[in-house]
A and B are shown apart, each in its own frame.
Chain A
Amino acid sequence: MKDMSYAGVMSRRNEIMKQSIGIDYSDFETAGISFDYEKMMREAGYTLEEIVKIQTDVSVGNTPIIELPNITALARKVSKTGQAARIFIKDEACNPSGSFKARRAANAVYHAKKLGYKGVLTATSGNYGAAVASQAAKHGLKCIVVQECYDSKKVGQPEILEKQRACEAMGAEVVQLSVGPELFYTFLALLEETGYFNASLYTPFGIAGVETLGAEIAAQFMEKHKRHPDVVLVTHAGGGNVTGTARGLIKAGATNTQVVGASVDLSGLHMASDQAFNRKSFTTGHTGFGIPFATLPDRSDVPRNAARSLRYLDRYLLVKQGEVFYMTEALSALEGLERGPAGNTSLTAAFVLAQEMKNDEMIVVQETEYTGAGKHQMPQLSFAKKNGIEIKFGDPETEVPGTNIVIPDDPSKIKIRDFDLDRARKSCIKNSLAAAGVKEVSDAEIKYLAEETKSSEDFVKEAIKSLQA
Chain B
Amino acid sequence: MQGKKGQWVQIHNIVLQPADRAPQVPDDTKQTPLVMWVKGYLNADAEVNKECEITTVTGRTVKGILDEVEPSYSHDFGKYVPELDIIRDQVRKALGV
Contact = CB atoms under 8 A, between A and B. Distances in A.
The judgment on whether A and B are partners is yes
A161 B58 CA distance: 20
Contacts of B86: 393
Given A165-B75, A378-B84, A411-B94, A177 B34 contact: yes
Contacts, number: 159
Nearest to B24: A181
6 contacts: A144-B58, A173-B58, A176-B37, A178-B33, A178-B34, A334-B97
Interface stretch (A69-77, A428-436, A448-456): A69-77
Contact of B36 (A176, A334, A374): A176
Interface in B37-52: 37-40
Contacts of B20: 6
A169 to B, nearest CB: 10
A182 interface: yes
Interface in B74-93: 74-79, 81, 83-84, 86-88, 90-92
Contacts of B16: 6, 182, 185
B88 A329 contact: yes
Contacts of A333: 87-88, 91-92
Nearest to B72: A165
A181 B22 contact: yes
Given A142-B58, A182-B21, A378 B81 contact: yes
B57 A407 contact: no
B84 A381 contact: yes
A374 to B, nearest CB: 4
B75 A77 contact: no
Nearest to A77: B94
Contacts of B24: 181, 272
B25 interface: yes
Contacts of A176: 36-38
A173 B57 contact: yes
Contact of B58 (A119, A326, A373): A119
Given A74-B95, A77-B95, A179-B29, 8 more contacts: A150-B37, A158-B78, A177-B37, A182-B22, A329-B91, A381-B81, A382-B77, A407-B87
Contacts of A411: 90-91, 94
A143 B75 contact: no
A6 B22 contact: yes
Nearest to A169: B73
A378 B35 contact: no
A273 B28 contact: yes
A419 interface: no
B67 to A, nearest CB: 8
Which of B22, B40, B78 has most A Cβ within 10 Å? B78
B78 A382 contact: yes
B36 A175 contact: yes
A235 B95 CA distance: 27
A41 to B, nearest CB: 30
A77 B96 CA distance: 11
B94 A182 contact: no
Contacts of A150: 35, 37
Nearest to B29: A274
A303 interface: no
B45 to A, nearest CB: 22
Interface in A118-177: 119, 142-144, 149-150, 152, 154, 156, 158, 161-162, 164-165, 168, 171-177
A232 B65 CA distance: 49
B78 to A, nearest CB: 3
Contacts of B57: 171-173
A377 B80 CA distance: 11
Given A171-B57, A275-B28, A379 B34 contact: no
A30 to B, nearest CB: 29
A382 B91 CA distance: 21
Closest 3 CB pairs of A and B: A382-B78, A379-B78, A374-B75
Contacts of B73: 161, 164-165, 373
B60 A173 contact: yes
B57 to A, nearest CB: 5
Given A74-B94, A393-B86, A383 B78 contact: yes
A334 B38 contact: no
A393 B83 contact: yes
Given A6-B20, A176-B37, A391-B83, A378 B78 contact: yes
B16 to A, nearest CB: 6
Contacts of A186: 15, 34, 36
Given A181-B24, A274-B32, A393-B83, A376 B77 contact: yes
A81 interface: no
